[in-house]
Amino acid sequence: MEFLRRLGATARSIPTVALNVLLPPQCLGCARMVDKPGTLCAECWERVDFLGPPLCARCGYPFEYDHGEDAICGDCIRRIPCVMRCFPMH
């Protein structure tokens, strides 16, 4: 039974391995080769500017300066979005 499970896992990985040989995964930022598809190389990762507070409490739009914890951006005030609040998943 264990043998069949391993055989199935190996068979499922063959297309991925073949694709990686024919079309090696590339960095999304600079097209250098990386280990996994859909990732960034170390140099591009270091240049990523992550958003942090202050942000709109509803849509996460970044503010230039702090308006308070529950501040809402102009777009969310003008047209109420279909969600009450959103936040990043970690």
What is the 3 state secondary structure string of the chain?
CHHHHHHHHHHHHHHHHHHHHHCCCECCCCCCECCCCCCCCHHHHHHCCCCCCCECCCCCCECCCCCCCCCCCHHHHHCCCCCCCCCCCC
pLDDT of residue 3: 67
Overall average pLDDT of the 6-10 stretch: 66
The 10s digit of each residue's pLDDT in 27-43 is 999 989 898 888 999 99
For the chain, the structural domain boundaries read 24-48, 54-90
What is the reported pTM? 0.45
The 10s digit of each residue's pLDDT in 40-78 is 999 999 998 887 789 898 888 899 889 888 899 999 888
